[in-house]
Amino acid sequence: MVALTLKDVGATYGRCVVLSDINTGTLRGGRLTAVIGPNAAGKSTLFKRIAGLAAGPGLVHLSDTAKGPEAICYMPQDTGANAVLTVYESVLLSAKQGSGWKVKDAELAEIDRVLAALRIDDLAFRGLGELSGGQRQLVSIAQALVRKPEVLLMDEPTSALDLFRQIEVLGFMKRLSAQSGMAVLIALHDLNHALRYCDDTIVISNGSVVASGPTHSVITAEMLKTVYRVEARVEACSLGRPVVIVDDSIQTA
Ligand SMILES: Nc1ncnc2c1ncn2[C@@H]1O[C@H](COP(=O)(O)OP(=O)(O)OP(=O)(O)O)[C@@H](O)[C@H]1O
């Protein structure tokens, strides 16, 4: 199974240093890892750096990969809609990225399978430009999945989805990563989603990793206070699951 390790990784935009000295333990296939942190902490930049779309020092090391650099797929936060294409065409185009133009029956079957799994098969022949924000986000997930990456970097993939779709997509990603051995990193703002679905969590603040490890040990009242500046509790709900309850913001002078 694929394993991703970051050693002393940094990222810069021109002369502006946005990330520095990012070290992770080995991020293994088959697991979901949440990447959390306040706005502008550097989560998207970390994904871009891992995907080779941002410059910076350090080493992004991928082992046990069958595909080499093609193994990594980055699903951006903002998904532009090319109004000319239909959903099906856009997903097919994504599946064929980097390979020839001959389309095999197995590739078409895979597209059908992914669209059905995300319950957007009814949108297949709609134009991208006429979709809602949530529908577009689901199409972006389909575009990423048909590429069959070994490492999938999902930047706030549920931000436009309703509650039902949020838990459906995250539950689906958890089952898929366990079955396929894909390593999935998900930038999230909903910490209860991280607690429920993600095996591990990396906390980024001001361009550095301030905590990482099993999600339940990382999302604590102390971390919420220092990183997010909120008074909060992590308590078991009536079903025994840990949940974050936010009481107040901490006002600083
Ligand atoms: N292309 C760019 N050029 C210069 N600075 C950038 C660029 N993209 C992002 N930044 C800066 O890098 C910092 C980190 O941004 P990034 O998008 O990685 O944060 P984030 O943690 O994903 O935030 P959010 O939760 O708000 O999406 C911010 O200060 C941002 O202004």
Number of structural domains (the chain) is 2
Q: In terms of domains, do 50 and 74 share one?
A: yes
Q: In terms of domains, do 139 and 228 share one?
A: no
**Which pLDDT score, from 0 to 100, does residue 139 have?**
96
Q: In terms of domains, do 139 and 237 share one?
A: no
Q: In terms of domains, do 252 and 198 share one?
A: no
Domain CATH for 34: 3.40.50.300
Q: In terms of domains, do 123 and 203 share one?
A: yes
**Which pLDDT score, from 0 to 100, does residue 253 have?**
66
Looking at beta carbons, which pairs linking 227-230 to residues 24 or more positions away fall under 8 Å?
Answer: 227/37, 227/38, 227/203, 228/38
Q: In terms of domains, do 81 and 188 share one?
A: yes
**Which pLDDT score, from 0 to 100, does residue 78 have?**
76
- The values of phi and psi at residue 39, to 5°, are -55, 140
pTM of the model: 0.95
Which residue has the least CA distance to atom 25 on ligand 1?
A: 39
Scanning the chain, the segments in alpha helix (DSSP H) are: 43-50, 87-95, 105-117, 133-145, 163-180, 191-197, 215-218, 221-228
Q: In terms of domains, do 166 and 251 share one?
A: no
Q: Which domain holds residue 44?
A: 3-219
So what's the ipTM on this one?
0.98
Q: What is the mean pLDDT of each run of 10 residues along the chain (253 residues)?
A: 94 95 92 97 97 95 80 86 85 85 88 96 94 94 95 96 96 96 97 97 97 97 97 96 95 74
CA 44 / ligand 1 centre spacing (Å): 7
Pairing of strands 9-13, 59-63: unpaired
Which residue has the least CA distance to atom 27 on ligand 1?
A: 39
Which residue has the least CA distance to atom 1 on ligand 1?
A: 13
Ligand 1 pocket mutation, candidates 12, 15, 43, 77, criterion most atoms within 8 A of CB: 43
Q: In terms of domains, do 188 and 252 share one?
A: no
Q: In terms of domains, do 202 and 238 share one?
A: no
Q: In terms of domains, do 90 and 203 share one?
A: yes
**Which pLDDT score, from 0 to 100, does residue 230 have?**
96
Q: In terms of domains, do 79 and 133 share one?
A: yes
Which residue has the least CA distance to atom 9 on ligand 1?
A: 45
Q: In terms of domains, do 105 and 226 share one?
A: no
Name the token pair of 136.
């577009």
**Which pLDDT score, from 0 to 100, does residue 116 have?**
97
